[in-house]
């Protein structure tokens, strides 16, 4: 169960990288910022989307309908479900809610052939925002990120700057990147380097 002293002592991968993230922030019409959203609760849920009992149980536990369309996100309050595969979702929630989310899912899915695994410690989340955010991300990623292809409420697991990440566009139009803890500093530094050119106020 949630242990307040453990939560107070845990560290996020970019905890000591705050100065670099602030230094790299670019303001103005070509602005772009990179921040960490640490300790989001994350649960890998697997089950059969063809089984209506499974879908109903998840609905009762989380208050949302699992997205069945590939690479889309469903959200209710601060809980969201990201499609990762035809029988696999990432459930993301507020920091410190992983024990509660896991308990709710396990209670609702009791006796069903499913898998509920707390993977909160697996990844941290980077958020890339601002007018130049898409241009920065396009340097790291081969997907078509233009607004007509990649909209708010979509997600994709893909290669990012030679590591693997889960990309999500929030309703506010920012990019969230779920990245393995051990690659987080590398990816943040890679993105900071890609952001640097937007700070140059060139007048030709």
Partner 1 sequence: MLLIPCPWCGERDETEFRYGGQAHLARPLDPHATGDAEWAEYLFMRDNPKGWFRERWNHAAGCRRWFNMVRHTVTHEIAAVYKPDDPKPELPE
CA dihedral for 106, 49, 45, 15, sign (positive or negative): negative
Q: Which of 158, 181, 186, 189 binds partner 1 (CB under 8 A)?
A: 158
Given a contact cutoff of 8 angstroms between Cβ atoms, the answer to whether 125 and 116 are in contact is no
Q: Which of 70, 121, 152, 196 binds partner 1 (CB under 8 A)?
A: 70
User: Is the CB of 90 or the CB of 108 nearer to partner 1?
Assistant: 90
User: Is the CB of 73 or the CB of 108 nearer to partner 1?
Assistant: 73
Encode 71-89: b = buried (16+ Cβ within 10 Å), e = exposed: bbbbbeeebbbbbbeeeeb
Shortest Å distance, C-beta 74 to partner 1: 17
Span interacting with partner 1, options 48-56, 78-86, 170-178, 192-200, rule CB under 8 A: 78-86
Name residues contacting partner 1, limited to 172-201 (CB under 8 A).
Answer: none
Give which of 60, 76, 90, 87 is closest to 155, Cα–Cα.
Answer: 90
Q: Does 148 bind partner 1 (CB under 8 A)?
A: no
Q: Where are the alpha helices (DSSP H) in 42-155?
A: 52-62, 98-108, 133-140
Residues at the site binding partner 1, with contacts judged by CB under 8 A: 70-71, 84-86, 88, 142-143, 156-159, 164
């Amino acid at each position: 169960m949630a242990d307040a002293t453990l939560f107070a002592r845990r560290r996020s991968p970019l905890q000591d990288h705050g100065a670099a993230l602030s230094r790299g922030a670019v303001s103005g019409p070509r602005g772009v910022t990179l921040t960490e959203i640490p300790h989001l609760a994350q649960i890998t849920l697997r089950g059969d989307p063809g089984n209506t009992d499974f879908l109903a149980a998840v609905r009762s536990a989380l208050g949302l309908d699992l997205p069945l369309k590939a690479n889309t996100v469903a959200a209710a309050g601060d809980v969201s479900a990201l499609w990762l595969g035809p029988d696999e979702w990432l459930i993301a929630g507020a920091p410190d809610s992983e024990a509660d989310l896991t308990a709710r899912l396990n209670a609702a899915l009791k006796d069903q052939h499913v898998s509920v695994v707390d993977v909160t410690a697996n990844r941290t989340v980077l958020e890339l925002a601002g007018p130049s955010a898409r241009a920065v991300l396009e340097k790291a990623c081969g997907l078509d990120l233009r607004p007509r292809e990649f909209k708010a409420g979509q997600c994709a697991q893909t290669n990012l700057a030679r590591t693997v990440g889960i990309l999500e566009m929030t309703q506010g139009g920012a990019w969230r990147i779920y990245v393995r803890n051990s690659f987080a500093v590398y990816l943040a530094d890679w993105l900071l380097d890609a952001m640097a050119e937007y700070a140059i106020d060139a007048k030709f």
